[in-house]
Amino acid sequence: MKPGRILVAGAGPVGLAFACASTGLDVCVIEPNARPAEATSELDVRIFALSAGTRAFLRSIEAWDRLDPARVTPVRRMEVFGDGGARLAFAGRRGAALAWIVEAGRLSSALELRPRAWAR
């Protein structure tokens, strides 16, 4: 029996992560825009705040360990201030991160390194 076929429109981090997770299927990723520039030492201002669940997912598709640990920043606590003095505060479990900040370009590069053929 032939494997199922999936066409993923968009080679951003979400599309690439979905494609990586689609094991056992014939996956084709298409991206009409030019390929993003290779990661440099410059800071990418496009970032993601990733939850523990997302981190576990990225580990399961072998992308997390391809990220440079020096470019991943844990978030230990977060405060949100609103109108009228409203305030919310969040923190992870003692000694654990609440989330991780990852540069979008580096996340895409880690996902693209996964051994699979992408169409552009």
Residue 20 burial (C-beta neighbours within 10 Å; 0-12, 13-18, 19+) = buried
pLDDT digits (tens, 9 = 90+) for 73-88: 999 999 999 999 999 9
5-112 CATH: 3.50.50.60
Q: Which residues are paired to 78 by β-bridges?
A: 90
The rounded distance, in Å, linking the Cα atoms of 73 and 115 is 26
- From the number of C-beta atoms within 10 Å of its C-beta (0-12, 13-18, 19+), residue 36 rates as middle
CB 10 within 8 A of CB 77: no
Average pLDDT over residues 85-103: 92
Listed range (12-16, 30-34, 37-41, 97-101) with the worst mean pLDDT: 37-41
